Structure 1
Amino acid sequence: MKLLLIVDDEPELLLSIKSGFEHNGRFRILTAENGRDALELLDRNKVDLVVTDLRMPVMDGIELLSVMSESFPEVPHIVMTAFGTPLIEKQLKRAGAIEVLEKPLDIEALEQAVSRALDVHEGQSRSLSGLALSSFLQLVAMEEKTVHIKVFHPSGRNGSLFFRQGELIDAEADQLVGDEAALEMLSWENARVSMKEFPSPAPGTRMQSELLPLLFTAAKREEEHGSEDFSNPLEAARLELSRLEGVRNNNQQTTRQTDLTTTLTGGTMGLKDLLKKMADDLDGVLAIQVTGMDGITLALHNPSGTDVEAFSAKFAMVMKLVEKSAESLKGLGELEENLVQTKNAWVLTRFITPQHYLGIAVSREGTLGNVRLISLRYIEHIRKLLAKPE
C-alpha cells in the first residue's frame, strides 16, 4: 500500500478525502491541517506522496514545499488550490509539482491524479538522474551511443531523443518533433532521463541541427528569459498568490460597501439589521449594540447570548468618566474610543455622536485591527440612521 499525506486546513475536506479513498486498497491516508504538522508526519513515516493546499495557518503550502525540497526531495507532491491561475501553475510545476488541481476537488479526479503521479514517480525513480540533461546528452554523443533516451518532466510530461552512434537523429515531445522538440526538453528543469533499447526499425532523421548548436540555442533562450527562469519558482508562486488574495479581498470589501450603501439608500435596513450585518463582517463577535449616553439601549445584536447588561448604563458611565479624564489632558483632543481588555474578550466602545456610542465585544481570538476597521466603516451609516426621524 502507498502512504499518502493530505495537507489542508479544512477538517471536513480531509474527512471527505479519507472516506473517498477507503474503497481503494492501494492507498493508506495520513492527514495534517498545516505544513508544520505535515513535516512531523514526514519525519515519522515513509510517505510516498504529499497532496497539499497552499493557503493554511501556522505553515502554508509554499513553505511546506520549500522545506520538503531540502529535507524530503525524494517525496513527490501534488498541489490543490482555489487559485489555479496559469502563472501559479507554471511556477509550482517548475518547483517540481507533478500536478496542480483546482479546488473544489472531485474525489474521483483526485484519486486518478494520485495514481498518475505515483506511476510517473515510480518510472522516474528507475531512471538516471543527477546530471543536467545537456551534460548527459554530451556524454551520450562522446560515447557514440545508439540509444533511445526517454526524458521525464516533473509534471508527468515526457519526450524522446534518438541517438545513432552519438548523433542526434530525432526528437519528439508533445506535438513537437525535431529541433523544437529537443529545445523544449532542454528547457525542462529537474528533468529525469532513462535509456531504452533503440526501436526497430530505427527512426528517420528529422533534425535540422546537430547537438552542439542545439545546446547553444537552448542556453541562449534560457538567458533571454531573464529573471523569470532564474527566480525561485515557489517565491514567484507566493507573490502571485498574495496578489490574487489582495485583489479578492479588495473586491469583497468594495462589494460589501456597495451593497450596504445601496441598502441604506433604499431605506430597507433598520439599526438592528445594520448591527447584524456588521457582526457578520467581524471576527469572533460576541455582542454589539448602540446605546445612548443616558444608558438606554437603542439596538442590540447578541449572537453569543452574552450577558450584556453592563453595555448600557454601566458603560455609559465609563464613557463619561474616560471622556472627562481625556479632557483634563490638554492637547490630546476629544475622546473617540475606549478599549477594555478582559481575560476572554475585547470590549471596544466608540462615540457615534456626542449622545450615542457603539459597543462591541469580541473574543480574544478576534483581531482588534479588524474590529476597528469594520467599526469605522459602519459608523457613518449608523450615524445616518440615528439622524432619521422616527
Structure 2
Amino acid sequence: MKQVLIVDDEPELLLSIKSGFEHNGHFHVLTAENGRDALDLLDRNRIDLVVTDLRMPVMDGIELLSVMSESFPEVPHIVMTAFGTPLIEKQLKKAGALNVLDKPLDIEALEMAISKALDVHEEQSRSLFGLSLSSFLQMVAMEEKTVHIKVFHPSGRNGSLFFREGELIDAEVDHLTGDAAALEMLAWEDTRVSMKEFPSPAPGTRMQSELLPLLFAAAKHEEAYGHDEDFSNPLETARQELARLKEEQYQPTAPTITLTATGENMGIKDLLKKMADEMDGVLAIQVTGMDGITLALHNPTGADVEAFSAKFAMVMKLVEKSVDSLKGLGELEENLVQTKNAWILTRFITPQHYVGIAVSREGTLGNMRLVAQRYIEHLRKLLAKPE
C-alpha cells in the first residue's frame, strides 16, 4: 500500500483527514505538524507522496519543499493552503507541485487529488531517464519502433509523439498538433518520457516535416535564442508572495487601493465591481443589511439573489448568536459556505451590514478572502456616508 504524508500544524485537521481515510484501500496516511517532523518521517519511511500546508511553525512548507528538492527529489508533493493566489500557485507548480489545493479542504476532493497524484507519479516513474528528448527520439527512429511516446514537463504539462516504424507521424500538446507540437516539446527542459502502445485506431499523419529537420530546427532555435525559461527560484518567489500577503493581512487599511476610478464619490456598487475585477469566477457580490435588504449588488451572471439575500441575513444572525454563546471566541469575522460548485464568503462591514461574495470553484478561495479583507475598511467608510 502507498504511504502518504500529510503535513499541517492543525492537529484537528490531521485527525479529521486520517479518520476520513481509514477505509481507503489505495494508500495509508502518516501525519506531521511541521516541516522538521515531516523530514524525520521521510528519513525513516518510504513515502510515496507528501501533502503539505505552507504556513507552519518550526519549519514552514516552503522550506520543507526546498529541502525535499535536494534530499528527496523522487518524492512528489501536493500543496494545500488558505492563502493561495494565482502567482503562488504558478510558482509552486513550476517548482514541481502536482496540485495546489485551497483550504478549507473537502475530504473527498482531497482523496481524489491524492489518488490522481499517485497514479500520475507512478506513470512518470516508469519513464526513461538519462537521455535528452532529442536523443531518445533519434533512438526510437533508428530502431524503427511503432510507439506512442508521452512527454512530461516539470510544470505538469504533457504531450504525445506518435511513431510508426520509426517515422514520426503525429504530435499533440495542448492545442498544438503536428510540427508546432513537436517543436514545442523539443524546447522543453528536464522532460520525462514513457512509451505506450498505439491507441486504436492509430492516428493518421499530420506532420509536414520529418524528425531530423525538426531536431535541427529546435537546436538552431536554442542556439540563437537560448532558453525562454525563467530561471528564478519559484519557491523563493512563492515565499516572498506569502510574506507580502501576511504583511497585508495585518495591515488591511494599507494604502494599496485607489478609490478615484470614478472620482472621490465612487459608490458602493462601483467598489463591488472593482473587487470583482480582482477575482476569478465571481458569480455575485453584494452588500446586504441584516434586515435582508440588499444595498448594492454586482451581479455579472444575472442570478436571482433577492430571495437568497433575505434568507441568508437570517443565517448570519444565527451564526453570530451561536458564536456569541461560546465565550472567549471573539467577534465573528467571516462565514464560509462551500457547495459542490461554489464558495460563498460573508464578512461583517458593520454590525448591521455584511458583504457577501459568491465565487465558482474555478476561482481561488485564498484570493477571495484577501480581497474581502483588503476592501472591508473602504466599504465601511462608504456605508458611513449617504449614497
CA RMSD of aligned residues (A): 2.8
- Is the 1:10–1:33 contact (alpha carbons within 8 Å) kept by the matching residues of 2? yes
Q: Residue 36 of structure 1 aligns with which residue?
A: 36
- Is the 2:95–2:155 contact (alpha carbons within 8 Å) kept by the matching residues of 1? no
1:134-283 aligned at under 5 Å gives the runs 134-141=134-141, 143-154=143-154, 157-186=157-186, 188-199=188-199, 202-210=202-210, 211-216=214-219, 219=222, 223=226, 225=228, 229-251=230-252
Shift of 1:83: 2.8
Shift of 1:101: 0.9
Q: 1:19 to 1:200 in 2, by over 3 A?
A: closer
Q: CA separation in 1, counterparts of 2:68 and 2:79?
A: 13
Shift of 1:247: 2.9
Q: CA separation in 2, counterparts of 1:6 and 1:218?
A: 43
- Is the 1:96–1:190 contact (alpha carbons within 8 Å) kept by the matching residues of 2? no
Shift of 1:82: 2.0
1:239-286 Cα offsets, whole Å, 9 max, x none, are 22223333333226789xxxxxxxxxxxxxxxxxxxxxxxxxxxxxxx
- Is the 1:187–1:222 contact (alpha carbons within 8 Å) kept by the matching residues of 2? no
- Is the 1:7–1:31 contact (alpha carbons within 8 Å) kept by the matching residues of 2? yes
1:282-361 aligned at under 5 Å gives the runs none
Higher helix share: 1
Q: Residue 366 of structure 1 aligns with which residue?
A: none
- Give the residue type in structure 2 aligned to 1:178: G
Q: 1:174 to 1:41 in 2, by over 3 A?
A: same
Q: Residue 382 of structure 1 aligns with which residue?
A: none
Q: CA separation in 1, counterparts of 2:49 and 2:222?
A: 33
Shift of 1:131: 2.7
Q: CA separation in 2, counterparts of 1:222 and 1:209?
A: 22
Gaps of 5+ in 2: 257-327, 329-387
Q: 1:196 to 1:218 in 2, by over 3 A?
A: farther
Q: 1:89 to 1:182 in 2, by over 3 A?
A: farther
Q: CA separation in 2, counterparts of 1:81 and 1:11?
A: 15
Q: Residue 114 of structure 2 aligns with which residue?
A: 114
Q: CA separation in 2, counterparts of 1:125 and 1:183?
A: 24
Q: Which moved more, 1:132-141 or 1:31-40?
A: 132-141
Residue 104 in structure 1 maps to residue 104 in structure 2: yes
Q: CA separation in 1, counterparts of 2:83 and 2:180?
A: 31
1:189-211 Cα offsets, whole Å, 9 max, x none, are 54321122345654322234452
1:147-177 Cα offsets, whole Å, 9 max, x none, are 3211234565432101345443211123332
- Give the residue type in structure 2 aligned to 1:125: S
- Is the 1:183–1:218 contact (alpha carbons within 8 Å) kept by the matching residues of 2? no
Helix, strand or coil at the partner of 1:230: coil
- Is the 1:93–1:99 contact (alpha carbons within 8 Å) kept by the matching residues of 2? yes
Q: 1:224 to 1:118 in 2, by over 3 A?
A: closer
- Give the residue type in structure 2 aligned to 1:3: Q
Shift of 1:136: 2.5
Structure 2 length normalisation: TM-score? 0.58
Q: 1:169 to 1:72 in 2, by over 3 A?
A: same
Helix, strand or coil at the partner of 1:80: strand
1:40-119 aligned at under 5 Å gives the runs 40-119=40-119
Structure 1 length normalisation: TM-score? 0.58
Helix, strand or coil at the partner of 2:182: helix
Q: CA separation in 1, counterparts of 2:238 and 2:252?
A: 21
Q: 1:229 to 1:207 in 2, by over 3 A?
A: farther
- Is the 2:3–2:48 contact (alpha carbons within 8 Å) kept by the matching residues of 1? yes
Q: Select the structure of larger CA radius of gyration.
A: 1
- Is the 2:7–2:31 contact (alpha carbons within 8 Å) kept by the matching residues of 1? yes
1:294-332 Cα offsets, whole Å, 9 max, x none, are xxxxxxxxx9xxxxxxxxxxxxxxxxxxxxxxxxxxxxx
Percent identity, aligned pairs only?
Answer: 79
Q: CA separation in 1, counterparts of 2:113 and 2:132?
A: 27
- Is the 1:50–1:77 contact (alpha carbons within 8 Å) kept by the matching residues of 2? yes
Helix, strand or coil at the partner of 1:229: coil
1:23-56 Cα offsets, whole Å, 9 max, x none, are 2132221111111110001111111110001111
- Give the residue type in structure 1 aligned to 2:44: R
